[in-house]
Amino acid sequence: MKCPHQAHVAIVDGKRFIVMRNVGQIFEPKLEKIAEPELEETNFSAGIRLHDQGTQRTGGSSTDLNEFAHGAAAAEWLNAKALSGEIEQLVVIADPRTLGEMRRHYHKQLQSRIVAELAKDLTGESTQVIEQAIAAA
């Protein structure tokens, strides 16, 4: 996968959000951590469409709702950075469920700056493993 020099890389799952930058070359990424933002998870309607009425009544999947809210909050954070001009190019790496939820919340400005997406859970991995996954994709 191409990861342009100086592109931001967002690594997200239902609990963690890391922002890195590629200081390496396009096909040989070298990532450095920029931030691990604290997100305010306020969009608990996120992902509600995936829960049946029985689950909603019993609250059986509140963890899922928290994870979807986290993905929505990460997308909102990225939207704000794209709108302010702080993000020019972005690679998004997220587990498939979180990535699907994030896509529902992308602003058009953010969408236009996304150069690649990788549906994979890498938040618990080392920087070297993340770099290898980008290069191999």
Percent of the chain exceeding pLDDT 90 equals 75
100-114 residue pLDDT tens:
999 999 999 999 999
For the chain, domains (ranges, CATH) are 8-136 (3.30.420)
Q: What is the pTM of this model?
A: 0.85
Count CB neighbours of 129 within 10 A: 11
**Does residue 116 register a pLDDT over 90?**
yes
State how far the Cα of 6 lies from the Cα of 12, in Å rounded to an integer: 19
Q: Say if residue 51's pLDDT is above 50.
A: no
Q: Does residue 54 surpass a pLDDT of 80?
A: no
Q: Which two tokens stand for residue 13?
A: 């799952």
Q: What is the pLDDT of residues 61-90, one digit of tens each?
A: 445 778 888 999 999 999 999 999 999 999
